């Protein structure tokens, strides 16, 4: 009996200490809650086909659902996750009446404006590629995109910007966003989704990015340096992949101060289109020549892929100071 009493007294003391510990811990638990409630777990949204292993995330900002519709179509096509950039203070209709000195007008004029984001993504670690959609506001991305890119870490990821607008081009909007991220983020060319685009057009663009299938199985070396390439999803690349299965070596020559060109040794299927290239682009020329750009040119080519892990300066250093050998192999 005595032992039991002593036991219960000890039990009471322990219980008391536990209550004390819990009380002391409570404010911290609340504080943690407050922080975690400002982040959100990214998942695919209802109606989209989720892929728990997806390495592609679509992030978008939209006040009138145009960008949202594109973002959903892309995410659906690629089985990607999707994240909406939601402002802490919502934009009401009057905030968006542009050319009236409305809130959006004022923010776009103010270089330091960084509208707060209500919910931040929990983590981007699992994603290799981030597709970022926004409307054009006065020729640029809305300032909330600046808030986003200054607040997340996209180093080492492939970034695919797209935008919609009433009529303006994407202009310098994506370049100005790229300037907010570090050099290891590989930005692909911005896509302005035309107002007349159909869902099929948008899906075809999404597939052409080559992100969903992670088609990095064909490895490319420039001399001894491996580079990361996002390959196109077309018949020419399929044929090139077959040649690379036995390892394909191409002796390239510098040409025009903007490219290296070399004979593949046989003809590949081609679907030439007038194209203005940018540094990192890999194209098929004349059906049987591989061209890799460190500058730009306009001609009829078939796109093969894009080097995504080198800055224009690094490409110039790799390709702009003498003929190189390119080797293609299959992983």
Ligand X SMILES: Cc1cc2nc3c(=O)[nH]c(=O)nc-3n(C[C@H](O)[C@H](O)[C@H](O)COP(=O)(O)O)c2cc1C
Q: What residues line the site for ligand X (CB under 6 A)?
A: 62-68, 96, 98, 104-105, 135-139, 164-168
* Residue with nearest beta carbon to ligand X: 64
Shortest Å distance, C-beta 110 to ligand X = 13
Contacts (Cβ under 8 Å, ≥6 apart) of 181: 149, 154, 155, 159, 187
Nearer to ligand X, 72 or 137 (CB): 137
Shortest Å distance, C-beta 163 to ligand X = 8
Shortest Å distance, C-beta 267 to ligand X = 42
Report DSSP state, residue 89. S
SS3 assignment, position 282: strand
CA distance 5 to 291: 88
State the CB neighbour count (10 A cutoff) for residue 174: 25
Shortest Å distance, C-beta 169 to ligand X = 8
Phi then psi for residue 236, to 5 deg, are -65, -45
Nearer to ligand X, 201 or 242 (CB): 201
Nearer to ligand X, 65 or 183 (CB): 65
Shortest Å distance, C-beta 164 to ligand X = 4
Nearer to ligand X, 64 or 200 (CB): 64
Shortest Å distance, C-beta 92 to ligand X = 12
Nearer to ligand X, 96 or 180 (CB): 96
Q: Is 206 exposed, middle or buried (0-12, 13-18, 19+ CB in 10 A)?
A: buried
Shortest Å distance, C-beta 199 to ligand X = 16
- Is residue 174 left, alpha or beta, with left meaning phi > 0 and alpha meaning psi from -120 to 50? alpha
Nearer to ligand X, 137 or 187 (CB): 137
- Do the beta carbons of residue 57 and residue 129 sit within 8 Å? yes
CA distance 170 to 172: 6
Shortest Å distance, C-beta 317 to ligand X = 37
Among 168, 221, 171, smallest CA distance to 329 is for 221
CA angle 224, 225, 231 (to 5 degrees): 120
Q: What is the CA radius of gyration of the chain?
A: 26
Nearer to ligand X, 7 or 98 (CB): 98
CA distance 227 to 69: 34
Nearer to ligand X, 95 or 281 (CB): 95
Shortest Å distance, C-beta 40 to ligand X = 20
CA distance 63 to 53: 30
Nearer to ligand X, 40 or 102 (CB): 102
Q: How far apart are the first and last CA of the chain?
A: 75
């Amino acid at each position: 009996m005595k032992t039991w009493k002593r036991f219960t007294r000890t039990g009471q003391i322990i219980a008391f200490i536990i209550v004390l510990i819990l009380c002391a811990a409570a404010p911290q638990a609340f504080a943690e809650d407050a922080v975690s409630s400002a982040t959100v777990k990214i998942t695919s949204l209802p109606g989209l086909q989720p892929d728990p292993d997806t390495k592609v995330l679509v992030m978008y900002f939209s006040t009138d659902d145009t960008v949202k519709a594109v973002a959903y179509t892309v995410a659906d096509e690629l089985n990607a996750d999707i994240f909406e950039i939601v402002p802490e203070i919502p934009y009401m209709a009057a905030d968006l009446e542009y050319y009236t000195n409305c809130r959006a007008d004022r923010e776009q004029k103010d270089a330091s404006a960084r509208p707060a984001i209500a919910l931040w993504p929990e983590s981007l670690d699992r994603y290799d590629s981030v597709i970022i959609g926004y409307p054009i506001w006065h020729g640029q991305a809305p300032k909330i995109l600046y808030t986003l890119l200054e607040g997340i870490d996209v180093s080492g990821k492939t970034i695919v910007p797209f935008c919609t607008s009433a009529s303006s081009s994407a202009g310098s909007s994506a370049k100005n966003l790229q300037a907010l991220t570090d050099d290891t983020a590989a930005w692909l060319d911005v896509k302005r989704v035309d107002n007349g685009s159909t869902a099929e057009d948008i899906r075809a663009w999404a597939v052409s990015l080559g992100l969903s299938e992670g088609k990095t199985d064909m490895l490319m070396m420039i001399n001894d340096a491996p580079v990361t390439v996002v390959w196109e999803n077309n018949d020419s690349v399929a044929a090139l992949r077959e040649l690379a299965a036995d390892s394909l070596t191409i002796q390239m020559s510098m040409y025009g101060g903007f490219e290296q060109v070399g004979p593949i040794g046989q003809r590949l299927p081609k679907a030439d289109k007038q194209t203005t290239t940018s540094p990192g682009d890999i194209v098929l020329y004349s059906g049987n020549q591989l061209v890799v750009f460190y500058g730009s040119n306009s001609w009829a080519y078939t796109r093969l892929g894009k080097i995504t892990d080198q800055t224009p300066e690094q490409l110039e250093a790799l390709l702009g100071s003498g003929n190189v050998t390119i080797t293609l192999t299959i992983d």
